[in-house]
Amino acid sequence: KQANRYAAEALVKDKEDSSALRAMATIELVEGSLEKGLVNAKKAYELNAEGTYIRDTYLVALYANGKVQEAQKIADEITASGKVLDNDTVKLMNGEVTLQQYYIEE
């Protein structure tokens, strides 16, 4: 709840705060508001795809919403940029962990 409040307050100050949008997307995904999470993850991605964990969060939001082909395009973008997909992201996309496990559990 507190994280949600902080992200919301940041967005009141700056509606284009990509980090706050990413945080809000993460919270929404974990709480089961998958479509809202995707909307905010996409906004963050469009504003600052190179921001910390923004591309990863967009990939996860796409995948969680059943947009597997679009998620794979983002995964390809990540690897094309010379980065490696996070092991937990691979596990999520392989169906080995749930969203809650991905974001909350160690």
**What pLDDT is stored for residue 61 in this prediction?**
97
**What pLDDT is stored for residue 3 in this prediction?**
64
Task: Retrieve residue 85's tokens.
Answer: 């997909």
Name 21's Cβ contacts closer than 8 Å, sequence gap at least 6.
7, 11, 40, 41, 43, 44, 47
Asked if pLDDT for residue 106 goes beyond 60, the answer is no
Residues 22-54 have pLDDT tens digits of 999 999 999 999 999 999 999 999 999 999 899
Name 85's Cβ contacts closer than 8 Å, sequence gap at least 6.
75, 78, 79
Task: Give the residue carrying structure tokens 């591309």.
Answer: 55
Residues 62-86 have pLDDT tens digits of 999 999 999 999 999 999 989 999 8
**Model-level pTM?**
0.86
